[in-house]
Structure formats: structure tokens, C-alpha cells
């Protein structure tokens, strides 16, 4: 992978990733800035809390799709270099977490990570969706499966034979994810984190 291809993939991924689905839905559906409501996060979890579970699902799917689409586009541009598409997926996660269009206040990258996993192999993506759904249902909090997936990413990247650079990027994005979820961990410890079952019944729209 050359520096030029790395930069091209990173730029494409970041531009796709920073599309703020939850923010746009908040403006369109309720005329609000979603960053000023709920947890203040621009992602599927807060979209569910503030806008209702249907919009939460729409946000999750769209956020996953933008990472997947970035990888597919880059894979088409550089078909002989799968690692370049991986870089685009990681960049899409970073774009989602730190979107320039929202002054770098974005989501936590979980749905974008799922999109990256679909980009690697549809079986990884499907497994991630089932893992998140099952563990969230069992534990009543999405923070646990979210951090578990980010923790697993470097190992999966190494196991599937990607370049060492990709493994390093996976470790870095894992660190960013833990940093972004620190507030959730603090809320869990203080009993202030909103459980899934407390949100779903009163947010049917």
C-alpha cells in the first residue's frame, strides 16, 4: 500500500463516515439538535432514546451502510489491495466519531464498525448483528457488546491476514472506542445508564 492509496482511502472513508444520520433525522423529524437531548450522542442509541426505536434502527442501518459503502467504493478503485478497503472502513468509523461537519462531536462508531465487518465478510457482519442483539437483550445494555466488538477487531484483523498497519489501526480505533464509552461506564457504575428495556416501551415511534 502506497501513501497515496492510503490517503485516498482514508479521505473517502472519512467523508462517508462523517454523514451524521442521527443529527439529520433529529432535524427532519423533530426540528431538534439531537446533541442537546438524551445522551448528546449522534448515533443509533441516542436516536432510539430521543426519536424512538424506528428512527434508531434507521440510524443504525444508515451508519453501518456508510462504512460498508466506503469500503466497496475503495475496493472497486483498488481491487488488488484489500487492505486499502480496510483503511477506508476504519476511516469511516473515525469520521462517524469525529465528524468535521459537527465540530467533531459524533457518535461512538458501533454501527460503523458493523458496516466494516460486513465489508470484510458478510458472515462477520451478520455475526456482529446477532451478537449485539443477543447480548444487549440479555444484559439490557448495549455498551457491553459494543466494547466487546471493538476489542475483538484487532484479533480478527490479525487472524484474517491483514497488514500490520491494519492491526495497528484496529488497536487505535479500539482505544478511541473505549475513550468514547468511558461516560457510559461511569453511568453504569453510578446507576445512571439508561437500560434498553426502559427505553423501548415508551418510544414506539
178-205 pLDDT, tens digit per residue, is 998 888 888 787 776 666 666 665 444 4
Predicted local confidence at residue 122, as pLDDT? 95
pTM, rounded to two decimals: 0.90
Q: Could you give the CA distance from residue 173 to residue 90 in angstroms, rounded to a whole number?
A: 7
- CA 205 to each of CA 14, 182, 195: distance values in angstroms, whole numbers, following the listed order: 31, 29, 18
Average pLDDT over residues 143-150: 92
Could you read off the pLDDT of 33-88 as tens digits, one per residue?
Answer: 999 988 788 988 889 888 888 898 999 999 999 999 999 999 999 998 999 999 99
Which secondary structure element, helix H or strand E, spans residue 195, and what is its range? none
Q: Are 115 and 65 in contact (CB under 8 A)?
A: yes
Q: Positive or negative, the Cα torsion across 93, 152, 117, 82?
A: positive
Q: Could you give the CA distance from residue 55 to residue 27 in angstroms, rounded to a whole number?
A: 12
Predicted local confidence at residue 205, as pLDDT? 43
Amino acid at each position: 500500500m502506497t501513501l497515496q492509496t492510503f490517503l485516498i482511502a482514508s479521505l473517502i472513508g472519512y467523508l462517508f463516515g462523517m454523514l451524521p444520520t442521527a443529527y439529520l433525522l433529529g432535524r427532519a423529524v423533530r426540528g431538534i439538535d439531537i446533541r442537546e437531548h438524551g445522551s448528546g450522542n449522534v448515533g443509533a442509541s441516542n436516536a432510539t432514546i430521543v426519536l424512538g426505536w424506528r428512527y434508531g434502527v434507521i440510524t443504525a442501518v444508515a451508519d453501518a451502510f456508510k462504512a460498508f459503502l466506503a469500503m466497496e467504493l475503495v475496493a472497486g478503485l483498488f481491487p488488488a489491495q484489500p487492505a486499502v478497503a480496510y483503511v477506508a472502513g476504519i476511516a469511516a468509523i473515525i469520521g462517524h466519531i469525529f465528524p468535521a461537519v459537527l465540530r467533531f462531536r459524533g457518535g461512538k462508531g458501533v454501527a460503523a464498525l458493523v458496516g466494516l465487518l460486513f465489508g470484510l465478510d458478510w458472515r462477520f457482519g451478520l455475526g456482529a448483528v446477532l451478537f449485539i442483539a443477543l447480548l444487549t437483550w440479555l444484559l439490557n445494555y448495549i455498551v457491553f457488546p459494543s466494547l466487546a466488538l471493538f476489542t475483538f477487531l484487532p484479533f480478527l484483523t490479525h487472524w484474517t491476514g491483514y497488514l500490520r498497519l491494519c492491526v495497528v489501526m484496529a488497536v487505535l480505533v479500539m482505544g478511541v472506542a473505549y475513550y468514547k464509552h468511558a461516560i457510559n461506564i461511569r453511568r453504569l457504575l453510578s446507576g445512571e445508564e439508561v437500560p434498553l428495556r426502559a427505553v423501548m416501551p415508551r418510544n414506539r415511534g
